[in-house]
């Protein structure tokens, strides 16, 4: 059963919306249109609602659309027994009450004519123009979508294609579903449940994304009544009991009005009852409901600045609940929603949630994209859209992104799984790009998500990031207000690591990564630090061998250094790998050898602290040298090959190399290199640092051997 049938008072409690008398309109429709000089009585409701939002609207096109719709649907009946024309009239009224513009209302009146009558698209185009024809065609395609349970993964894909990237098509479909849900009681219970589940999983999240809260909340209540009748009845009883008791929200509202009046702020203060599902959620969250939990206060003002003035007065005169404050004016939500949210405690301890917004914000909060009029008409100073394309009016381009995803994802199940996760997100963070722009991401998003949100498929080359100025791995979770600078490799053939999927929160990132990995299965084994054994390094001019440990980096070299201890064997310390022209010192060790350290090596301080006498060391003027370098990098395909190629190009030979197991996508490479001339060491280190993915190259610093 519908929510309205179960609780006739629900309508007046929520919004006081005037409902159509379907049987009366049905009788009027059967009598046919009235004279041409005035609108038929059957659409008088629509005309009144439309003029309330658009006083100068030309209603003649609605007259012509009604005449065509009524004549083409004449003789058709709904399952409820009313003439079929009552359905497009009801859909049009819903949109008119939300403030839809004339073109949308005209298409709503005609939305079933092409599907169910002999009217053709060519007739609609000739009579009402290209825009109306475009919308009617989109809604007609939506009507052909199979909403069966087995077709769910394909359902959403077809809906997106059918919209033609025009949110007004989806708005008409949402109003169409709302009216069908209102009259669902004539169907079998199992069919009611099936339609309610699809409405819950697909259309309600869509209404949320498009910001049409007025439709979303009523659809939620209708679905709640069908799928959870016992919980619905319990919630209805709680609301009825609260209605018969004293309402503390009205007392607090009077106090708020007094405070704002004394502050000289012109504001309208309303008590806004929660809808059924909202009350149910609050009960699940808090258990025992308080009197103020059945609604919230809504404060409407004229200007944005007045919103903050109201907030200041409320927080000064009442005790604010700081944890409940949210500023969606400075950072609007993904669906255009703007408001200040706060909660205050009155002197008697009652806590009231308060929404503060302008009248225009309230219109958008209720109607979302429907309140934008024709969102595809460029405003003054705005660039016209590319011919044949329609710019997405939603702030993050959500609908446009969905259309791109469905085109790039061949597997409908993958698309559906990713999309449902994205639809389930109800909280967004805003992060700042290094160029001053912003990215809207779901809460919990990582640098991986930011990369794909900013660069699309070019994010395959991302090798790391700086978050708030500090180096960070791609797995780093971003917070609201963070600044992120994404680092891209120069190699256009680079691709994502399989582990990126573990950190991707958005559907865009998951779909793009999965598609790339599926197309490049052979590259997964070549990913440095992906958990497998890295490939053998390739280096020109010298052999390469895997080193079992750091001890193998300590080599006997006497060609470069001369010590002031006759007949002593010279070792260059593996802990700091000195090379000319480093300032060095030596210490005698067991076996008649002298170990040479760089002067700043920690081992030198330890030796001197133990009373060990240093041995003088000097470098020979010429000769090659051996050095150990450590490269710190982000893991990516071909990194090891690119590093060894840079080493070979610099004329060095790889004596040994090790790659440590990855840690949070960071990889540590240690190379022992033979250089023909120590003077080339700075150039070699610069060349290694320029390899994409490498963020630091340094001389080895390991504990000195005993």
Active-site residue set: 115-116
Query: Of 55, 51, 160, 64, which is closest to residue 107 (Cα–Cα)?
Result: 64
- State yes or no: cis peptide before 581, omega within 30 of 0: yes
Q: What is the sign of the dihedral through the CA atoms of 30, 35, 39 and 44?
A: negative
DSSP strand pairing (569-572 vs 593-598): parallel
Q: Are 670 and 620 in contact (CB under 8 A)?
A: no
The residues facing 628 across adjacent strands are 672
Angle at 582 between CA 578 and CA 585, to 5 degrees: 75
DSSP strand pairing (351-358 vs 295-301): parallel
Token reading at 400: 């446009």
- The backbone torsions φ and ψ at residue 487, rounded to the nearest 5 degrees and listed phi first, read -105, 125
> How many Cβ atoms are within 10 Å of 649's Cβ, its own excluded?
12
Query: Of 369, 221, 207, 359, which is closest to residue 298 (Cα–Cα)?
Result: 359
- CA distances (Å), origin 343, targets 10, 22, 306, 351: 25, 41, 18, 7
The residues facing 697 across adjacent strands are 631
CA max distance for the chain: 122
Helix extents (H) in 7-151: 10-14, 22-30, 44-53, 60-73, 86-98, 102-109, 113-116, 121-128, 130-143
Q: In 3-state terms, what secondary structure has residue 66?
A: helix
Q: Are 270 and 254 in contact (CB under 8 A)?
A: no
Token reading at 256: 């708020």
CA atoms in the 13 A half-sphere facing the CB of 316: 10
């Amino acid at each position: 059963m519908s929510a309205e049938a179960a609780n006739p008072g629900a309508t007046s409690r929520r919004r006081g919306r005037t409902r159509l008398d379907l049987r009366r309109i049905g009788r009027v429709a059967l009598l046919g249109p009235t004279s041409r000089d005035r609108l038929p009585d059957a659409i008088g409701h629509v005309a009144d609602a439309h003029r309330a939002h658009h006083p100068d609207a030309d209603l003649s096109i609605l007259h012509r659309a009604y005449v065509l719709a009524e004549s083409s649907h004449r003789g058709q009946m709904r399952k409820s027994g009313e003439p079929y024309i009552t359905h497009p009239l009801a859909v049009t009224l819903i949109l008119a009450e939300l403030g839809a513009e004339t073109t949308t209302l005209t298409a709503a009146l005609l939305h079933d004519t092409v599907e169910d009558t002999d009217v053709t698209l060519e007739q609609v185009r000739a009579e009402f123009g290209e825009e109306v024809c475009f919308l009617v065609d989109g809604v007609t395609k939506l009507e052909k979508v199979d909403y069966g349970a087995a077709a769910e993964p394909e359902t959403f894909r077809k809906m997106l294609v059918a919209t033609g990237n025009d949110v007004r098509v989806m708005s008409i479909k949402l109003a169409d579903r709302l009216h069908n849900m209102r009259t669902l009681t004539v169907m079998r219970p199992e069919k009611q449940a099936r339609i309610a589940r699809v409405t819950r999983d697909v259309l309600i999240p869509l209404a949320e994304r498009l910001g049409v809260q007025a439709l979303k909340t009523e659809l939620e209540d209708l679905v709640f009544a069908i799928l959870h009748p016992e919980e619905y009845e319990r919630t209805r009883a709680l609301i009825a009991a609260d209605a018969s008791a004293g309402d503390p929200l009205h007392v607090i509202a009077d106090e708020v009005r007094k405070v704002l009046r004394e502050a000289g702020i012109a504001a309208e203060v309303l008590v806004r009852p929660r809808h059924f599902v909202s009350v149910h959620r609050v009960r699940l969250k808090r258990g025992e409901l308080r009197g103020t939990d059945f609604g919230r206060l809504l404060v409407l003002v004229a200007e944005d600045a007045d919103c903050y003035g109201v907030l200041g007065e409320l927080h000064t005169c009442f005790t604010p609940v700081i944890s409940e404050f949210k500023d969606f004016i400075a950072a609007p939500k993904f669906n255009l929603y703007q408001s200040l949210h706060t909660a205050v405690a009155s002197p008697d301890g009652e806590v009231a949630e308060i929404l503060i917004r302008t009248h225009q914000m309230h219109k958008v909060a209720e109607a979302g994209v429907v309140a934008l009029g024709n969102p595809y008409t460029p405003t003054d100073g705005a660039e016209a859209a590319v011919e044949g394309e329609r710019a997405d009016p939603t702030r993050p381009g959500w609908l446009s992104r969905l259309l791109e995803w469905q085109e790039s994802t061949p597997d409908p199940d993958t698309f559906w799984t990713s999309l449902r996760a994205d639809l389930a997100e109800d909280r967004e963070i805003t992060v700042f790009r290094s160029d001053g722009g912003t990215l809207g991401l779901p809460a919990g998003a990582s640098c991986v998500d930011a990369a794909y949100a900013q660069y699309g498929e070019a994010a395959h080359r991302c090798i790391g990031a700086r978050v708030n100025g500090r180096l960070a791995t791609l797995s780093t979770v971003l917070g609201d207000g963070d600044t992120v600078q994404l680092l891209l490799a120069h190699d256009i053939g680079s691709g994502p690591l399989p582990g990126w999927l573990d950190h991707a929160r958005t559907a865009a990132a998951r779909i793009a990564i999965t598609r790339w990995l599926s197309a490049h299965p052979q590259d997964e084994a070549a990913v440095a630090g992906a958990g497998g054994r890295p490939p053998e390094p390739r280096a020109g001019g010298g052999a390469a061998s895997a080193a079992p440990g750091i001890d193998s980096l300590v080599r006997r070299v006497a060609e470069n250094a001369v010590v002031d201890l006759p007949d002593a064997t010279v070792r260059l310390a593996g802990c700091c790998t000195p090379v000319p022209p480093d300032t060095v010192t030596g210490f005698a060790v067991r076996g008649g050898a002298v170990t040479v350290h760089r002067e700043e090596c920690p081992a030198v301080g330890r030796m001197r602290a133990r009373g060990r006498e240093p041995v003088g060391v000097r470098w020979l003027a010429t000769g090659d040298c051996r050095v150990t370098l450590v490269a710190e990098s982000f893991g990516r395909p071909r990194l090891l090959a690119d590093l060894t190629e840079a080493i070979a190009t610099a004329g060095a030979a790889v004596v040994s190399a090790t790659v440590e197991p990855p840690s949070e996508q960071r990889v540590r490479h240690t190379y022992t290199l033979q250089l023909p001339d120590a003077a080339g060491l700075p150039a070699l280190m610069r060349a290694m640092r320029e390899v994409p993915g490498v963020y630091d190259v340094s001389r080895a610093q390991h504990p000195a051997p005993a």
